[in-house]
Amino acid sequence: MKTAFFFVIGYLLASLLATSFLLALQPPHAHFPTLIALAFFPLYPVRWVGTAFLGTIAPLEVMALAVFVLLMGTSVYLAFKARQKAAR
């Protein structure tokens, strides 16, 4: 259960930080509030992967996806490390 908690919290934190990174580098248009964009932050990594498969991903989205993968990989590593520590 603790491992699943680490995965969920890690995903939410990684997507929030990657979305914030993207919005800091490329803010939305003036008629689209940033808070609305941040409200849907868990959906951005799925969108980035989808556009990567289509081949239409922008360079800034590639950087944000790299930030997400790095943070999510760190979260997975820490979850498995905690799982191994709990198994002892």
Domain that holds residue 71: 2-87
Q: What are the pLDDT digits (tens) for 11-24?
A: 999 999 999 999 99
Q: 23 φ, ψ to 5°? A: -70, -25
What the block records as the tokens of 75 is 């979260």
- Structural domain total, the chain: 1
CA dihedral (35, 39, 41, 47) positive or negative: negative
CB of 19 closer than 8 Å to CB of 41:
yes
DSSP calls for 36-86:
HHHHTGGGHHHHHHHHHHHT---HHHHHHHHHHHHHHHHHHHHHHHHHHHH
Q: What are the pLDDT digits (tens) for 12-63?
A: 999 999 999 999 998 888 788 888 888 999 999 999 999 999 999 999 999 9
